[in-house]
Amino acid sequence: MSQCVRVAEKAFDYRVPLVVIGAGAAGLVAALSAHEAGEEVLVLERDPLPRGSTALSAGLIPAAATRWQNAAGIVDTAELFAGDILRKAHGEPDAVIVDHVARSAGPVLEWLADRHGLNFSVIEDFSYPGHSARRMHGLASRSGEELIDALRAAAETCEIPVICDAHVTTLFADDTDRVLGLAFARPDGSIEEIGCDRLILACNGYGGNRALVAQHIPSLSDATYFGHAGNQGDALLWGQALGAATRHLNGHQGHGSVAHPAGILISWATITEGGFQVNIRGERFSNEAKGYSEQAAEVLKQPEGIAWSVFDARIAGITRQFEDFRRAEAMGAVVTAESPADLAARINVPEDGLVSTCAQVEACKRGEASDPFARDFSGSQPLAAPFCAVRVTGALFHTQGGLVIDTRARVLRPDGSALPNLYAAGGAACGVSGNDASGYLSGNGLLTAVTLGRTAGAAKINGDE
Ligand X SMILES: Cc1cc2nc3c(=O)[nH]c(=O)nc-3n(C[C@H](O)[C@H](O)[C@H](O)COP(=O)(O)OP(=O)(O)OC[C@H]3O[C@@H](n4cnc5c(N)ncnc54)[C@H](O)[C@@H]3O)c2cc1C
**Interface positions with ligand X (CB under 6 A):** 21-27, 44-47, 50-54, 56-61, 144, 167-168, 202-204, 226-228, 230-231, 234, 265, 397-398, 426-427, 443, 445-447, 449
CB of 82 to ligand X, least distance (A): 16
Q: How far is the CB of 235 from ligand X (least distance, A)?
A: 8
Output 151-156 pairs: Cβ under 8 A, ≥24 positions apart.
151/25, 151/28, 151/29, 151/32, 151/50, 151/54, 151/116, 151/118, 152/23, 152/28, 152/50, 154/28, 154/32, 154/112, 154/116, 154/117, 154/118, 155/23, 155/28, 155/31, 155/32, 155/43
- For the bound state, the minimum distance from the C-beta of residue 399 to ligand X, rounded and expressed in Å, comes to 9
- Least Å from the CB of residue 181 to ligand X: 14
For residue 385, the minimal CB distance to ligand X (Å) is: 30
3-state SS of the chain? CCEEEECCCCCCCCEEEEEEECCCHHHHHHHHHHHHCCCCEEEECCCCCCCHHHHHCCCCEECCCCHHHHHHCCCCCHHHHHHHHHHHCCCCCCHHHHHHHHHHHHHHHHHHHHHHCCCCEECCCCCCCCCCCCCEEECCCCCHHHHHHHHHHHHHHCCCCEECCCEEEEEEECCCCCEEEEEEECCCCCEEEEEEEEEEECCCCCCCCHHHHHHHCHHHCCCEECCCCCCCCHHHHHHHHCCCCEECCCCEEEEEEEECCCCEECCCHHHHCCCEEECCCCCCCCCHHHCHHHHHHHHHCCHHHEEEEEEEHHHHHHHCCCHHHHHHHHCCCEEEECCHHHHHHHHCCCHHHHHHHHHHHHHHHCCCCCCCCCCCCCCCCCCCCCEEEEEEEEEEEEECCEECECCCCEEECCCCCEEEEEEECHHHECCCCCCCHHHCCCCHHHHHHHHHHHHHHCCCCCCCC
Q: Rounded to the nearest whole angstrom, what is the least distance from the CB of residue 429 to ligand X in the complex?
A: 8
Question: Cβ of residue 44: shortest distance to ligand X, in angstroms?
Answer: 5
Smallest gap from residue 444 Cβ to ligand X (A) = 6
Instruction: Please identify, using beta-carbon distances, which residue of 116 and 375 lies nearer to ligand X.
Output: 116
Task: Return the number of the residue (129 or 443) whose C-beta is nearest ligand X.
Answer: 443
Query: Closest approach of Cβ 48 to ligand X, in Å?
Result: 10
Nearer CB in complex with ligand X: 58/316:
58
Nearer to ligand X, 52 or 439 (CB): 52
| Beta carbon of residue 319, minimum distance to ligand X (angstroms, whole number) | 14
Residue nearest to ligand X (CB): 24
* Residue with Cβ nearer ligand X (111 or 238): 238
**For residues 231 and 393, which CB has a smaller minimum distance to ligand X in the complex?**
231
- On whether the CB atoms of residues 257 and 391 are closer than 8 A, the answer is no
Nearer to ligand X, 364 or 403 (CB): 403
3-state secondary structure 92-140: CCCHHHHHHHHHHHHHHHHHHHHHHCCCCEECCCCCCCCCCCCCEEECC
Nearer to ligand X, 27 or 340 (CB): 27
Report the residue number, 150 or 364, with the smaller CB distance to ligand X. 150
Q: Which is nearer to ligand X, 46 or 454 (CB)?
A: 46
Instruction: Report the residue number, 50 or 275, with the smaller CB distance to ligand X.
Output: 50
Considering the complex, state which of residue 202 and residue 297 has its C-beta at the smaller distance from ligand X. 202
Q: Closest distance between ligand X and the C-beta of residue 344, in Å?
A: 29
Rounded to a whole number of angstroms, the minimum distance from the CB of residue 220 to ligand X is 13
